[in-house]
Structure 1
Amino acid sequence: MSTPHVVVVMGVSGTGKTTIGALLAARLGVPYAEGDDFHPPANIAKMSAGVPLDDEDRRPWLDAIGAWAHERAGHGGVVSSSALKRAYRDRLRAAAPGVVFVHLTGDRSLIEERLAHRQGHFMPTTLLDSQFAALQPLEADERGVAVDVSGSPEEITARALNALGDLERSAAPQ
């Protein structure tokens, strides 16, 4: 990618949004923001108790991420956010119209295994079902790419960069 876009790394919990987001930001030479850091304490407490967030819970979180993305517009950045529903991505786009999404996807059993082995995170494996139930993949009119999460973090990051480059080339005037 040659222009300083803000990239939102999205997907269900356990896909590697934090790891891939940080690697992607480093490769692009832009700041990385951890989406979980934007959650108010009440959201973290709710998820820690095994209770899925509802749309009302997510509103201030999405607005905070959108504000960060808006501030980074023209400078570039990478932020993680589950952004599971189209309405959530629309809210992020309303705050920062130029955002590009990288949807980390993969086999449910692989994601569940990674989530089960994750240490020190507030999101319990029991909430994975609610995340898959809420997930609405990127639609054709949304600017973004889907990237498979099989392989090493470096391989996934390379796939993401290649897909973003292809997206940028396909949008360039001919």
Structure 2
Amino acid sequence: MGPDLRRGPATAASGGRRAHPLPLRRGLRTTDGGDVLTGFRTSVDLPVPVEVAYAYLSDPRNRPEWQSSLRSVTVPAGEEPHLGQRWQETTTVGVRPRLEIVEMDPPHVWTERGWWRGVEATLSLRFARTPRGCRVDVSGDVGGRGAWRVPASVAGRLAGLAIAADVRRAGRILARRTD
């Protein structure tokens, strides 16, 4: 985990000392240094029922409205969200990833997998009822190969904050619609 410093494996603590008690930052590098996988995790409370949040967040056609990095989404006409659904997004910087819904259990879990050139990413949303609406637990990872290792690692480190802000934005949009 962490940067490849070309050192051997870490040794156990010596002299009666214990390992550091705090968790390490998520991430994985293959032994050949080929892939970097950076994970993220966050939770967002929304002021709407779980069914409303799930229906909105799991539909790729709604993404440009609440996801700040998107310019457009191309989904086959008239196609409702379903397991195996594929679509393409165009980001504000011109990246055009392809995505697919790989897990869908309404209104509890929704997972997508996306890829673009040497970068792959997974995003999972888990929904739970709360007294004031629902909680969305967001997790995922971003990985890169070859020249895409560093950009993927940076994107993975920033993804948690960006996605949390986007999900909060979706909550504000939904709250205005239900008022």
* Common fold: TM-score over 0.5: no
* Structure whose CA Rg is larger: 2
Instruction: Give me the TM-score of the superposition, normalised by structure 2.
Output: 0.29
Higher RCO (C-alpha 8 Å, min separation 6): 1
More strand by share: 2
